[in-house]
Amino acid sequence: MKKIRFAAVVCLAGMVVLSSCHSKINKGDRMPEVTPTQIDSVSYALGLWAANFVKGSNIGELNYSEFTKGFFALFDGKETDENVNGSMEILNQYVMRRATYVVEKSKIDGENFLAKNKTEEGVVETESGLQYRIEVEGEGVNPGPKDTVTVHYEGKLLNGEKFDSSYDRGEPAEFPLTGVIKGWSEGLQYLKEGGKATLYIPSALAYGERGTRGIPGNSLLVFEVELIKVKPCAEVEAEPAEE
């Protein structure tokens, strides 16, 4: 795991101070022709960046009072470089412990959810461990494992956090079932054109222990999927290649 950069931590502390204490900190110089309004805009943007850093790090509980003390200690020259480096080591070790905890907890939470969810009305569990529920029965064909599908979908983590949505992008997605995670490849085959389903995909059929961008390791994924069109593999292979 990458270590947290010192600059990122300083920006994070600055966000806490500016948002909770409403203080103006004028420790640096101002470039010529830069207005106070521009300084405010940059300060706000930096606060958003720092907040996004905290959210993406999933660092857990924090004591903002101690956070603020550390911020002022640095800017007031009360901390040496040696102390700062030591603090960064403490932080890095904690972040690595936190990452391990999150992955382990995600696995347990996912298993507990699936054990309860499979008893819910309409939920079907397959041999692979995938669970799905047909929300709207389609009237078209089912896709095969090598077919290409056009779908609308929305993906969420177990806590309800949305990480992907074709609806938000304003257009459906098209892809071959050979090029997606196992849970998608299997789950879409239970749908007919025009149908809608909820897929509950265990991490083993998704991104596993390592996870991927925006999805922590061992995450169970929940997808709302609408199958719009199926393009059989034979048709795709018959299409002329673009020059």
The domain limits of the chain are: 6-79, 126-238
The pLDDT, as a whole number, for residue 112 is 97
The pLDDT, as a whole number, for residue 32 is 87
Catalytic residue numbers, as ranges: 153, 163-164, 181, 207, 223
The CATH class for the domain spanning 126-238 reads alpha beta
The pLDDT, as a whole number, for residue 2 is 44
**Tens of pLDDT, residues 90-114:** 888 888 898 889 899 999 999 999 9
The pLDDT, as a whole number, for residue 89 is 86
Quick one: average pLDDT of 59-81? Answer: 77
Instruction: Tell the residue number behind the tokens 């936190």, with chain if given.
Output: 98
Quick one: average pLDDT of 79-86? Answer: 75
The pLDDT, as a whole number, for residue 31 is 86
Q: Is the pTM of this model over 0.85?
A: no
Quick one: average pLDDT of 171-192? Answer: 96
